[in-house]
Structure 1
Amino acid sequence: MITSKQRSYLRSIANTIQPIFQVGKGGIEENFLKQIDGALEAREIIKVAVLNNSGLTAREASDIICEELQCEGIQAIGNKLVLYRRSKKKPKIELP
């Protein structure tokens, strides 16, 4: 679990990055989760866009992904969500 200060720091980092994944009408499937898992290991923080035809809100998608991958949902605003998980091999982001 991360603190509100750490969450705020991660939000400031995520402010400048672009979404690298989209949740579409196919929803959240096993292959999609594997790709997000690999991206979290490599980058530690990612942004995901949720399309209108997915049938999910950003908060619902964040909850599902975080439950499956044991990551932290940092932010869910509009149709975008930010996920964080500390890398097991090479941590890059130093939390305050």
Structure 2
Amino acid sequence: MSLTATQKKQYRTIGHNLNPLVTVADKGLSEGVQLEVDRALEDHELIKIKFNVGDRKVKKALIRELCEQVQAELIQEIGNIALIFRESDDPDPKLSNLLR
């Protein structure tokens, strides 16, 4: 899944007003975190995730690993917040951040 620059810009604009739905802390990517991110992506398609880990290299590795595990694409990373996207097969217009 490869997004164009125009799509990424549009998703960054939408993501600006979103709040993080999931927080990844010192324990890293547990199974519960992965399941919650997967569920949130299925419902909302575009979500923010907050990473409360101290090291930049660890944070970047966690973001990359999480995107691979949930098959999502990183749209933007600013500070401790990552904006990720995964298209839903059957998006709910009441929940999807792209359709509201």
TM-score (norm 1): 0.87
1:10 corresponds to which residue?
A: 11
Structure 2 matches for 1:62-73, cutoff 5 A? 62-73=63-74
Identical-pair percentage: 28
Once residues 15 and 61 of structure 2 are traced to their aligned partners in structure 1, the CA distance between those partners, rounded to angstroms, is 19
1:52 is aligned to 53
Q: Distance in 1 between matches of 2:20 and 2:91?
A: 22
Find the aligned partners of 1:75 and 1:88 in 2 and give their Cα distance.
23
1:88: Cα distance to partner? Answer: 1.1
Q: Distance in 2 between matches of 1:52 and 1:72?
A: 21
Q: Aligned partners of 1:30, 1:52: CA distance in 2, in Å?
A: 17
SS at match of 1:12: helix
Q: CA, structure 1 residues 40+53, in 2 after alignment: closer, same or farther (shift >3 Å)? A: same
TM-score (norm 2): 0.83
The residue number in structure 2 matching 1:33 is 34
Q: Aligned equivalents of 1:63 and 1:88: distance in 2?
A: 23
Question: Which of structure 1's runs of 4+ aligned residues deviate more than 4 A?
Answer: none
Shift of 1:54: 7.6
For the residues of structure 2 that align with 1:54 and 1:32, how far apart are their CA atoms?
Answer: 19
Shift of 1:11: 0.4
User: Helix, strand or coil: the match of 2:20?
Assistant: coil
